Amino acid sequence: MKKLVLTLVALVASVSVANATQYLQASSSVTQCPGKAPTLVEMDIVDAANGVALADNKVTVGETGPYLIVAAPQVGREGGGPYGCFDLWLRVNGADVANSNVQLCQDEGSMAKDVIISQGIVPMEAGDVLEVMMSASNPEAKICIEAIQPAGEPLVPAIIFSMIK
């Protein structure tokens, strides 16, 4: 997993943001716990943007082309709970993006935290709307995406979302 993340970071770094015409990096300062039904992920911080807009937790692209999209939620729970799974995936214009789902399951009582990554290249048309969706197989497990504020350190966002054309 660590090798995959390092490879992904190297790939993103190799794309020159200074020359990119379309990009967005957004994040969330809000802990969010989904139910069984698909739920839109809230992103309330725009870290960087050019040509891609974030409004009402929906991303609208300004140009047609392929976009590298990385959605990386911080998944965990504050207290132990029963077994359950958390899913996160992408939607474009209301339709689920094939092969974009990632899943983390936690055993009963587990307090583990992890970052799971949905990433891929998605062809989009100007004006397309992208949403990041989540759900939980067992809402009683209280598996959430967590915003964590360590003392004296930067925020650990509930999600870091990046896309670039």
In SS3 terms, the chain reads as CHHHHHHHHHHHHHCCHHHCCCEEEEECCCCECCCCCCEECCCCEEEEEEEEEEECCEEEECCCEEEEEEEEEEEECCCCCCCEEEEEEEEECCEECCCCCEEEEECCCCCCCEECCEEEEEEECCCCEEEEEEEECCHHHCCEECCECCCCCCCECCEEEEEEC
- State which residues form the domain around 91: 2-164
The string of pLDDT tens digits covering residues 122-137 is: 999 999 999 999 999 9
Contact criterion met (CB below 8 Å) for 32 and 144: yes
In this predicted model, which residue has the larger pLDDT, 19 or 50?
50
CATH number of the CATH domain containing 152: 2.60.120.40
Domain count along the chain: 1
- Band (17; pLDDT cuts 50, 70, 90): low
The string of pLDDT tens digits covering residues 64-115 is: 999 999 999 999 998 889 999 999 999 999 999 999 999 999 999 999 999 9
pTM for the model: 0.87
In this predicted model, which residue has the larger pLDDT, 107 or 9?
107
